[in-house]
Amino acid sequence: MRLFTSTWRFYVAVILVIGSIGSLFSLGVKEFAAGIIVSVLLILPELLYFLKPAASIWKKWDESASSQKQQDRIDRARSGDLTPRWVDVKGKIASFTGSDGGVAYKTTLKKCSCPDFAKRGVPCKHMFYLADRCDLIDR
- Under rule CB under 5 A, residue 65 binds Zn ion: no
- Under rule CB under 5 A, residue 130 binds Zn ion: no
Q: Between residues 3 and 104, which has the closer beta carbon with respect to Zn ion?
A: 104
Q: How far is the CB of 84 from Zn ion (least distance, A)?
A: 11
- Residue 87 contacts residue 126 (beta carbons within 8 Å): no
Q: Between residues 39 and 107, which has the closer beta carbon with respect to Zn ion?
A: 107
Question: Dihedral, CA atoms, 16, 22, 23, 29, nearest 10 degrees?
Answer: 100
Which ranges in 27-134 belong to alpha helices (H)?
29-51, 54-58, 68-79, 115-120, 125-133
- Residue 116 contacts residue 98 (beta carbons within 8 Å): no
Binding part of the chain for Zn ion, among 3-11, 28-36, 77-85, 110-118 by CB under 5 A, reads 110-118
- Under rule CB under 5 A, residue 124 binds Zn ion: yes
Tell me which amino acid residue 100 is: D
Enumerate residues 6+ apart whose C-beta is below 8 A from 109.
Answer: 54, 57, 58, 92, 127, 130, 131, 134, 136
- Under rule CB under 5 A, residue 114 binds Zn ion: yes
Q: Give the one residue of 112, 130, 131, 134 binding Zn ion; rule: CB under 5 A.
A: 112
Q: How far is the CB of 119 from Zn ion (least distance, A)?
A: 10
Residues of the shown chain interacting with Zn ion in the complex, contacts defined by CB under 5 A? 112, 114, 117, 124, 126
